[in-house]
Structure 1
Amino acid sequence: MRCVVFIFLLTGVNGSSNNQLNFPFDVARDPNSGALYISDSWNHRIMSYFVNASSGTVVAGGSGPGTNNSQLNYPIGIYLDLPSNSLFIANYNSNNVVRWVLGASSWTLIAGSSSGANGTSSTLLYRPLDVTVDFMGNVYVADAFNHRIQFFLAGSLNGTTITGVSVTFGSDSFHLYYPYAVALDSQLNLYVSDCLNHRIQNFYSIEKHNNFII
């Protein structure tokens, strides 16, 4: 993996060919195959690279920005879900999170609007930046412009705000200010990169903290 990263960085030139990237934002690695998946944001695609490869393969998107289910629109955060052999993608400019099965030609909507509409309700997102998934298939989304983390039960398009206060930013322990990234540990405790508050927030598992049954 280190060799692949060095190859990318040493070029220093953006582009849209299979050996170039344009504003890559996130990476996920398959521990079994060694494949590295990269959200190539300004190329509106997800690329896969193998160790020592000088050229990659488009595995999602790549047909320009748009809301069609064969397109991505400035993808940012990605999560590789090995059990379902798929990538969960925070589709920033389309205000949704989608799941793209590796080898498929289109995505399935996980959260937000398929039309690209933004909003503040429990079924809408506004500029999602990151996504992670727990071992039960539940989804956690950094809903950046709404200053909240949204939780979606597996298979549900109706989310619950588990961290932050919708549409309201702040610096106390109950508020977020442009949350950028999310991660879970083995106990389902949540870690949030609270970007414009210049801090990392740790929240106990929602099973304990909010008495939310999952």
Structure 2
Amino acid sequence: MIYHLLLHHKSNYLICTTTTSSTTTTSKSRISTQQIVIPNIPANARWQQSGVTISGGHGSGNATNQLNYPIGIFIDDDQTVIIADQNNHRIIQWKKDDTNGQVIAGGNRQGNQPSQLHSPTDVLIDKQTNSLIICDSGNKRVMLWSRSSGTSYGEILVDKITCFGLCMDDQRYLYISDTAKDEVRRYQMGDKTGTLIAGGTLLGTGSNPLQNPSYIFVDEQYAIYVSDDNHHVMKWNKNATKGSVIAGGNGSGNALTQLSHGEGLFVDKLGTLYVVDYG
């Protein structure tokens, strides 16, 4: 069985690494609405140490074969890679084996008009409406942008929020990290206020509160995993009033007990946490 791990890279390209296992009975498990993909990676999996560039790789720029600080990634069912291309103020997609991407939101210079984005940091697909949900960080808003052909603008879902990361569960609840308030909120579609579920007044254990929370992952039990600038990853179980540190939390460093700057993350079916440790 072969598995793929996709990493966003601060050198303006994306790389894909693979792992193999002798186990042949494992399969990828998807929650019913396919908002969350939780891979079933066996404990004896072995990862290749080199990857293949699948997007960008032609230096920093705004051409359709270039990226400029790719920071958020979403993979569609057909392996189309959708990227929040932050410094180009656009969302761009790469279909499998394409040499050029296609701009599908923004790309009209930095701005706050409905057709513009300002430093987007994350993106996902709402399957029910076939729309992008975009964390338009520089404009402090979350946008809903139809994937229908010819769509040139989006609409505001949530505004006045210093958003960074997004996630959606199988009940179509949207989770958004707010770096200014050091919290994560859960929203029903159409809700402008949300419910506090992590950080903020829900302090972490000990002396490890959330600090500039960034990426989010929600598992099948609706536990929330959050990476932040406090050199750790925290977990909040469903309806918990306190979170706990599950990775890092021992200061910044490169020891196996430390994180320098945890970013993208996910948890597999065995409960193994995978974290991109930047820096």
TM-score, normalised by the number of residues in structure 1: 0.81
Does residue 109 (structure 1) correspond to residue 145 (structure 2)? The answer is no
Give the counterpart letter for 2:165 in structure 1.
D
Q: Is the 8 A contact 2:208 2:230 kept in 1?
A: no
Question: How far apart are the structure 1 equivalents of 2:206 and 2:72?
Answer: 28
Deviations 1:185-208 (A, max 9, x none): 112111111x221111111123xx
1:163 to 198, 213, 237: 198
Give the counterpart letter for 1:28 in structure 2.
F
Say if 1:140 and 1:7 are closer, same or farther in 2 by CA, change over 3 A: closer
Does residue 132 (structure 1) correspond to residue 167 (structure 2)? The answer is yes
- Residue in 2 that maps onto 1:19: 65
* Structure number, greater radius of gyration: 2
Give the counterpart letter for 1:134 in structure 2.
D
What's the secondary structure of 1:145's corresponding residue?
coil
Structure 1 runs, 4 residues or longer, greater than 3 Å off? 1-5, 7-10, 168-174
Question: Over aligned residues, Cα RMSD in angstroms?
Answer: 2.5
- Residue in 1 that maps onto 2:215: 181
What's the secondary structure of 1:42's corresponding residue?
helix
Q: Which runs of 5+ in 2 are unaligned?
A: 1-5, 7-15, 18-50, 242-279
Q: Which runs of 5+ in 1 are unaligned?
A: 113-123
- Residue in 1 that maps onto 2:238: 205
Q: Is the 8 A contact 1:92 1:129 kept in 2?
A: yes
- Residue in 2 that maps onto 1:117: none
User: Structure 2 matches for 1:58-97, cutoff 5 A?
Assistant: 58-97=103-142
Superposition deviation, residue 84 in structure 1: 2.1
Q: Is the 8 A contact 1:171 1:197 kept in 2?
A: no
- Residue in 2 that maps onto 1:52: 97
Deviations 1:157-182 (A, max 9, x none): 1122221126x998747831110111
What's the secondary structure of 1:146's corresponding residue?
coil
Say if 1:20 and 1:147 are closer, same or farther in 2 by CA, change over 3 A: same
What's the secondary structure of 1:125's corresponding residue?
coil
Question: How far apart are the structure 2 equivalents of 1:30 and 1:47?
Answer: 13
Aligned residue pairs: how many? 192
What's the secondary structure of 2:214's corresponding residue?
strand
Deviations 1:72-124 (A, max 9, x none): 11000112222221221111110111111113221121112xxxxxxxxxxx3
Does residue 6 (structure 1) correspond to residue 53 (structure 2)? The answer is yes
What's the secondary structure of 1:161's corresponding residue?
strand
User: Could you say which structure has the higher helix fraction?
Assistant: 1
Q: Identity, % of aligned pairs?
A: 27
Superposition deviation, residue 9 in structure 1: 5.6
Does residue 98 (structure 1) correspond to residue 143 (structure 2)? The answer is yes
Give the counterpart letter for 1:164 in structure 2.
G
Give the counterpart letter for 2:226 in structure 1.
V
Does residue 192 (structure 1) correspond to residue 220 (structure 2)? The answer is no
TM-score, normalised by the number of residues in structure 2: 0.63
